[in-house]
Amino acid sequence: MPVPHHQIYRRQQVATIPTGIGVYVLCDLDEVPIYVGKSTDGIQNRVRRHLTSARSDTIANRQLDVWEVAFVWAYPCATKASIPPLEAYLFHQHDPQSPLMNGAIPQNPGQLPFPHPERIRVQVLPDDERAIRRDPSRRLPRQSQFYFQLVDHIQTVKDSRQLRRSLQAHFDRLRRYHASFTGNVLEAPSEDDEDQD
């Protein structure tokens, strides 16, 4: 069976992510950040493990659906000491706009005590596949399924404040996808709707 072209594309693109240490941001199909992570053994290796669901607590705990990941922002760091403050800084930059799937909330470092590393942007899902997945008729069922998987995980495997925070972030996204799918039909019924009764 041939390997789907989007998997080949993802593998090729992940190979272009910096191999050094640092911080990364996983972004969804709309390039909205959904997770901020760090790596002291290489950003590329860490992202690859996320995207292949290999040895990742974030994946094991059902916090992150890699089906949604279409972009990676990498921020290479010169020293290990600069990684935690940069991770916390990026978390607090992005979480207010759209809640991240990170369970733990790092302390806000305020301004960075060093120059902000340059962002390296890598698209890891081709445009045609991204367009298919952005279709509300595909995205809503996928998010619904993932939401209930996380609920089940919390009820049967592990319950924590961090996982419940991730669950809330997924619920917020589910509401947005639901509104997109229904076209916000909760408005007053039109005459056409009344005629169908």
pTM of this structure: 0.89
| For residue 156, pLDDT beyond 70 | yes
| For residue 197, pLDDT beyond 50 | no
E strand residue ranges, 40-125: 71-76, 120-123
Report the length, in residues, of the chain.
197
Q: How many Cβ atoms sit within 10 Å of the Cβ of residue 110?
A: 10
Amino acid at 128: D
Q: What are phi and psi of 120, to 5 degrees?
A: -110, 115
CA pseudo-torsion sign 102, 173, 117, 106: negative
- Nearest C-alpha neighbor of 99 from the set 28, 23, 182, 22: 28
| Confidence class for position 104, pLDDT limits 50, 70, 90 | confident
Residue-level pLDDT at 192: 52
Q: How many Cβ atoms sit within 10 Å of the Cβ of residue 26?
A: 24
Non-local CB neighbours of 54 within 8 Å, separated by 6+ positions: 48
Q: Give the model confidence (pLDDT) of 92-101 as tens digits.
A: 999 999 999 9
The 8-class DSSP code of residue 48 comes to: H
How far is the first Cα of the chain from the last one, in angstroms, to the nearest whole number? 49
| For residue 106, pLDDT beyond 70 | yes
What are the chain's domains? 5-134 (3.40.1440.10)
| Confidence class for position 103, pLDDT limits 50, 70, 90 | confident
Under 8 Å between Cβ of 25 and 50: no
| Confidence class for position 62, pLDDT limits 50, 70, 90 | confident
Q: Which residue has the tokens 């369970």?
A: 103
Q: By three-state DSSP, how is residue 121 classified?
A: strand
